[in-house]
Amino acid sequence: MAKAVESSGELGTTSPRPLMRDLKAVGKKFMHVLYPRKSNTLLRDWDLWGPLILCVTLALMLQRSSVDSEQDGGPQFAEVFVIIWFGAVTITVNSKLLGGNISFFQSLCVLGYCILPLTVAMLVCRLVLLAEQGPINFMVRLFVVIVMFAWSIVASTAFLADSQPPNRKALAIYPVFLFYFVISWMILTFTPQ
């Protein structure tokens, strides 16, 4: 799986890593999620900054504004956070147990980045909710969420499916489906009070 390769002293320089390079890498991965195609970028150069940003954004948007300071959005905020990270870790453990050859952090990276379409859906839903409530409002949101949900599934399977043995693909993809379904459900049923 992972082994420590020590090169003490071989490299004369351990120079600081520039910030812009990391930011560009994150941006590039977002692009890869929006236009999924067979590519190794998400897998080869993984990072967890994108998932963190998306998770925090989603959790902030899913907060209910409440008058009562006791329920100041606290439980909902931490809930979203825990669901996303715990869910991603569970899926990763599941895929490793099924014999996948993808590393722990690579899997977390892919699952986290593929939340991007659903975050966009959340944004759209919040804007739509500013308009008049009603069945049309709900239909629009339902449509947006379904499209983005499908987009997330397609993006993540494009990256994850290859890492599984052929007879286990469905077993590995099913939890991913469930994961994004739960997030989509949270987005769809969100109503600001």
Partner 1 sequence: MKQALVDDTEDVSLDFGSEEELAFPKAKIRHPLATFFHLFFRVSATVTYVCCDWFSRSFGGCFVTVLLLLSCDFWSVKNVTGSLLVGLRWRNQIDEDGKSHWIFEARKVSPHRPTATEAEVRIFWLSLIICPVIWIVFFFGTLFSLKLKWLALVTAGISLQAANLYGYVLCKMGGERDISKVTAGFLSHTVLPTASPRDFQKPGPAGLEMHKH
Point out which residues bind partner 1 (CB under 8 A). Answer: 1-17, 19, 22, 43-46, 49, 52, 56, 59-60, 63, 69, 72-75, 77-78, 81-82, 101-103, 105-106, 163
Q: Closest distance between partner 1 and the C-beta of residue 104, in Å?
A: 8
Q: Closest distance between partner 1 and the C-beta of residue 13, in Å?
A: 7
Q: Closest distance between partner 1 and the C-beta of residue 80, in Å?
A: 10
> CB–CB of 121/153 below 8 Å?
no
HSE at residue 26, side-chain half, CA atoms within 13 A, is: 14
Is 45 or 136 the residue whose CB approaches partner 1 more closely?
Answer: 45
Is 106 or 157 the residue whose CB approaches partner 1 more closely?
Answer: 106
The DSSP code sequence of 53-103 is HHHHHHHHHTPPP-SSSTTSSHHHHHHHHHHHHHHHHHHHHHHHHTT--S-
